[in-house]
A = this chain, B = another copy of it.
């Protein structure tokens, strides 16, 4: 941490800051410039860190500048080569293959989820997405099928050789979901639900952690740190769009998050272009851009009949649009040294 003193700070004010730094168990290094004095704080003492922060409004202080990242286990330096791990059945994330999860926003019926599973599996997806518990901004909207939805998505995934990723909204749901789900998804609204993050840190299931709508990348990594601090290192980050002044699109997909996270952290990062843009006809462009920027995977909403979807129909791809997109990213992936799974060759019966 650096304390940046005001240009007119007095010696007494400087000495007070130095004294406080020492009282907190750190060392103080003064740099006296022509215009102002800067004080570097060196040492390591979690105990008094909050007192250090209070220096921000000590007399004569202009501002405190933090220079080290507050995340540790998530930091690149912990595993400079990058994390590669198994999501289940040998599906490795973080490695040379771009992993794609696809499926409807919500599980609506056996027919819907089976049709979804079959079409996305054929096109090359490795995970089936679909919510059983849906966070909705209105209490009057469809809230998901619950346990029945979990059973339906598990069956549909198994029948098509797919893994299941589904959203968990509350610590109380964790136990119930574990038998049905391969990857536990934490939604953007829950990125800082610390009770939920801690509960997931105590499991061994991979977690897909979505960036909050107004979360900085540092905050995203701190939320990952909550999970990792519990012993669960299988965290996949997900950029899904941030909130900006531009209203033409639902959110602004911050594709720069991909290379930035790759530098700051060893964790894999994927993109959710469906929520990132919110309009079906532009999802493919954003998906391609994410792969070109180096994403480790994608999660995409696909619905057999988007016009009748119970949620997010406007941003769900038709199955053939999804297959077309998979073909496009197969062309792009080699530009970043990656590859995408082949389309399945169908036999005559399917």
Question: Which A residues contact B (CB, under 8 angstroms)?
Answer: 2, 4, 7-8, 20, 29, 31-36, 38, 40, 42-44, 46, 49-51, 53-58, 62, 64-65, 67-68, 70-71, 75, 77, 80, 135-142, 169-172, 189-190, 192-195, 212-214, 216-219, 222-223, 225-226, 229, 242-249, 252-260, 263, 276-277, 279-282, 285-286, 288-294, 306-311, 313-315, 328-329, 331-332, 334-336
Contacts and interface: CB of A to CB of B under 8 A. Distances in A.
Contact of A253 (B38, B56, B256): B256
Given A169-B194, A217-B248, A248-B217, A306 B57 contact: yes
Nearest to A33: B42
A212 B212 CA distance: 11
18 contacts: A4-B67, A20-B307, A31-B42, A33-B43, A34-B44, A50-B309, A53-B314, A55-B314, A56-B313, A57-B280, A57-B281, A137-B192, A137-B219, A138-B222, A248-B260, A249-B256, A285-B293, A289-B293
Contacts of A171: 170, 172
Contact of A42 (B34, B222, B243): B34
Contacts of A58: 307
A131 B289 CA distance: 29
A75 to B, nearest CB: 8
A296 to B, nearest CB: 13
Nearest to A8: B77
B2 A65 contact: yes
Given A20-B307, A65-B65, A256-B252, A195 B216 contact: no
Nearest to A331: B335
Nearest to A105: B50
Nearest to A251: B256
Contact of A335 (B249, B256, B332): B332
A246 B254 contact: yes
A344 B48 CA distance: 36
A70 B138 CA distance: 7
Given A216-B248, A244-B244, A229 B139 contact: yes
A266 to B, nearest CB: 13
Nearest to A44: B34
Contacts of A8: 77, 80
Nearest to A135: B194
Contact of A310 (B50, B256, B291, B310): B50
Contacts of A223: 137
A213 B54 CA distance: 22
* Residue from A33, A77, A307 having most chain B Cβ neighbours under 10 A: A33
A57 B40 CA distance: 22
A38 B2 contact: yes
A21 to B, nearest CB: 12
